[in-house]
Amino acid sequence: MAERRARILVVDDEPPMVQMLTDFLGEQGFEVASAQSGVQALARLAQQPADVVLLDVRMPELDGIDVLRRIRENYPRIGILMVSGNDDVELAKETITLGAVDFVLKPVDFPYLMRAIDKILAAAAAADEAAGDGQPAEEAAPAPSGSIHGMLYDLALDTFRIARALPPLARESIGIPLERAVLDAVQRGVSGEKLEIIRALNLVRTLLRFGRDLGDISDEEHRRLEAHVARARRAAGLS
């Protein structure tokens, strides 16, 4: 029996973007379907679930955030990549917290997109293989917090909580740059770029020191975030 091709659903309200992504992914050998609204996307998934969904954030009627929530609720194993023309840290943070695997900016970096898709499919294949050996799928895949992506995700959540609580001046000078550095580390973790993970985590550490020395970040917060950074480095095979 021929191996089933992975199925990707492209969701965007801009026809040129849908066409570009559909053409590119089809050339890579994927089975590609498309939808030009959130409502249409959910109808497509009800007919035939996908392995990966590329989901635009800003759409009329039902926006990408609402669609993300509904897909996560009804199809927990689908890998979701959010796509946006807006480099908004708060928005990216929200989508990752809600269960998106990654946040891809327009214009789309196709090599980065392919790495993110490959990561999703590899994780799903590993879970299916382990489940075929008699282990439940939800137990077969390693706990997210035990992986480099999971460690970076934990770092991001704690960082965002702390940065969000900073007063306006401190948030402007330390909080927002720190969020951007951590989000960059999360994205590098998905793509597996170890050198870039190191650079991103080094910037996080530098900003944490600045924040502590300026009195914006408490010693306890600094220790907690440093512990996250250290765990992420170990998970990436770094000292």
CATH number of residue 80's parent domain:
3.40.50.2300
**Per-residue pLDDT for 138 more than 60?**
no
Q: Which of 109, 140, 171 is the last residue of a domain?
A: 140
**Per-residue pLDDT for 144 more than 70?**
no
1 within some domain: no
Q: Are residues 159 and 116 in the same domain?
A: no
2 within some domain: no
**Per-residue pLDDT for 142 more than 60?**
no
On average, the pLDDT of the chain sits at 83
Return d(Cα 119, Cα 191) in angstroms, integer.
Answer: 7
Q: Are residues 42 and 132 in the same domain?
A: yes
Q: Are residues 26 and 108 in the same domain?
A: yes
Domain containing residue 202: CATH number: 1.20.1440.60
Q: What pLDDT score does 145 carry?
A: 42
Q: Which of 82, 115, 140 is the last residue of a domain?
A: 140
Q: Are residues 35 and 87 in the same domain?
A: yes
Q: What pLDDT score does 90 carry?
A: 76
What would the pLDDT profile of 26-69 be if each residue is shown by its tens digit?
999 999 999 999 999 999 999 999 999 999 999 988 899 999 99
Domain that residue 121 falls in:
7-140
Return d(Cα 142, Cα 144) in angstroms, integer.
Answer: 6
Q: What pLDDT score does 28 carry?
A: 94
Sign of CA dihedral 228, 231, 232, 238: positive
Q: Are residues 72 and 188 in the same domain?
A: no
Q: Which of 148-152, 220-224, 225-229 has the lowest mean pLDDT?
A: 148-152
124 within some domain: yes
Return d(Cα 137, Cα 127) in angstroms, integer.
Answer: 5
Q: Are residues 114 and 14 in the same domain?
A: yes
**Per-residue pLDDT for 146 more than 70?**
no
Pure H helices in 83-193: 89-98, 110-132, 137-140, 148-164, 168-170, 176-191
Q: Which of 92, 112, 140 is the last residue of a domain?
A: 140
Give how many domains the chain has, as a whole number. 2
- pLDDT class of 210 with cuts at 50, 70, 90: very high
CA 121: distance to chain centroid? 14
Q: Are residues 31 and 112 in the same domain?
A: yes
Q: Are residues 11 and 112 in the same domain?
A: yes
Q: Are residues 151 and 189 in the same domain?
A: yes
- pLDDT class of 128 with cuts at 50, 70, 90: low
The residue-averaged pLDDT of 173-191 equals 83
Q: Which of 83-97, 108-122, 129-143 has the lowest mean pLDDT?
A: 129-143
Q: Which of 26-35, 99-108, 109-118, 149-158 has the lowest mean pLDDT?
A: 149-158
Among 187, 213, 216, 190, which Cα is nearest to 200's?
Answer: 187
158 within some domain: yes
Q: Are residues 104 and 203 in the same domain?
A: no
Q: Are residues 176 and 93 in the same domain?
A: no
What is the helix (H) or strand (E) element at residue 199, kind and residue range? helix 194-213
Q: Are residues 129 and 22 in the same domain?
A: yes
The residue-averaged pLDDT of 132-155 equals 57
In Å, what is the CA distance from 45 to each residue of 39, 119, 129, 191, 223? 10, 21, 24, 26, 44
149 within some domain: yes
